[in-house]
Amino acid sequence: MDHLKLTADKLSIDDISELVVNDSCGAVSIFVGTTRDNFEGKKVLHLEYEAYEPMALKAMKSICDEARSKWPAVHGIAIYHRLGAVPCCEASVVIAVSSPHRRDSLEAVSYCIDTLKASVPIWKKEVYADSEPVWKENIECKRIADKNLVQINVSNEEIQKRIHHFIERKRAQVNLSNIQDFIPRRENETEDMETCARVRTQFVKRNDSKGHLKVCRVENEWGPQTVPEPQMVQKVDSTLPHSIAERVTAIESYLNTTPVSPDIYKRLKEMEDKIAYLQSISPEYAQFWKNNKSTIKQEQMPEYVVSAEDIDKKIELLELQQNLM
């Protein structure tokens, strides 16, 4: 049976070893990894462990399966790893393996700790007394690349040189693409040739950049801004007398309001609100009509005096003209 756990609690070696003890087993091999108080002459205060727990537990289970396939006689495996801060002299990892004979358990426990350090996503940070903390990489994680998988076997200087030339080549391609996309006519083209450009543009290189262009001249020959918007034709309300409907529609157009309802009273209310708004933002607007009316002189209509005899003569004249036609 496998016993796997990631915990922030202090690890008990006795409790973990009891998990794998069995009457049929004559050996229990235990590995205990503890925090030491020094590293390369620096004083270590404690270690801090972090893990991606779902993946770590899955990797630990895979280690147990591999160990059982290599040593079928193994009975119980327990792998406990501590997370968070681990002070000096305390255990950070405990692995216990039981088997009928010592060779299987000893080899299996050695395999488990080596594989755990190499493959399980658990990270360690050493906290020092007199310097900044450092995240440490396990020695077992270092791998030598397979030579058959290496595609470029050159110096770092040569790699940087190739990267530089690649960037320059791509930059030139982008510049050419920009010119082709935004300048319709090139030297070998005519105006009749099709192009995807929407404006006629002339580009020059910017002094402060190798890969960008700035617009020197743009002539918009056609576009949404140059196309006049269609004039909205307002329909005359057929429910009103034609003359009144025309006057109401004209006032709405002048005030820039639209018919909010076929109800004439609501339309009048909308116009009144707009006039009140105009008066509020422009006080002199309220005095416009008053002052305008005072300056307009009403035209004096001439007075006509017509007698009944004049009317009869006019009628006779019209009848005579009608007969002649």
pLDDT of residue 198: 47
Are 246 and 128 in a shared domain? no
Phi and psi angles of residue 60, each rounded to the nearest 5 degrees, phi first:
-65, -40
Asked if residue 167 belongs to a domain, the reply is no
pLDDT of residue 89: 92
Exposure string of 167-188, with b = 16+ CB inside 10 Å and e = fewer, is eeeeeeeebeeeeeebbbeeee
CA torsion sign for 298, 302, 308, 310 is negative
pLDDT of residue 193: 46
In this structure, are residues 15 and 89 in contact, taking their beta carbons and an 8 Å threshold? no
117 annotated as a binding-site residue? yes
Tally of domains within the chain: 2
**CA 305 → CA 22, 214, 309, 311, 312, distances in Å?**
139, 83, 12, 11, 14
Name the token pair of 153.
């076997």
Asked if residue 63 belongs to a domain, the reply is yes
Residue 30, SS3 per DSSP? strand
205 annotated as a binding-site residue? no
Residue span of the structural domain in which 119 resides: 2-136
CATH number at residue 113: 3.90.1170.40
290 annotated as a binding-site residue? no
Of 136, 157, 187, the domain-final residue? 136
In this structure, are residues 230 and 242 in contact, taking their beta carbons and an 8 Å threshold? no
- Cα 91–Cα 97–Cα 100 angle in degrees, nearest 5: 150
* DSSP-assigned letter for residue 186: -
Asked if residue 308 belongs to a domain, the reply is no
Asked if residue 187 belongs to a domain, the reply is no
Are 9 and 129 in a shared domain? yes
Asked if residue 177 belongs to a domain, the reply is no
**Alpha carbons 191 and 186: distance in angstroms, whole number:** 10
Name the token pair of 108.
């299996």
The pTM of this model reads 0.46
297 annotated as a binding-site residue? no
Are 130 and 246 in a shared domain? no
The tens place of each residue's pLDDT in the chain, 325 residues long, gives: 899 999 999 999 999 999 999 999 999 999 999 999 988 888 999 999 999 899 999 999 999 999 999 999 999 999 999 999 999 999 999 999 999 999 999 999 999 999 999 889 899 999 998 888 888 776 655 555 566 666 666 777 888 888 888 888 888 888 777 666 655 554 555 544 444 444 455 555 666 665 555 554 445 444 444 445 545 445 545 567 777 777 778 777 777 776 666 777 788 888 888 777 776 666 555 555 555 555 545 555 555 566 677 777 888 888 887 777 6
The amino acid sitting at 75 is: H
The amino acid sitting at 137 is: E
Tell how far CA 225 is from the center of its chain. Answer: 30
Asked if residue 65 belongs to a domain, the reply is yes
**Alpha carbons 121 and 137: distance in angstroms, whole number:** 11
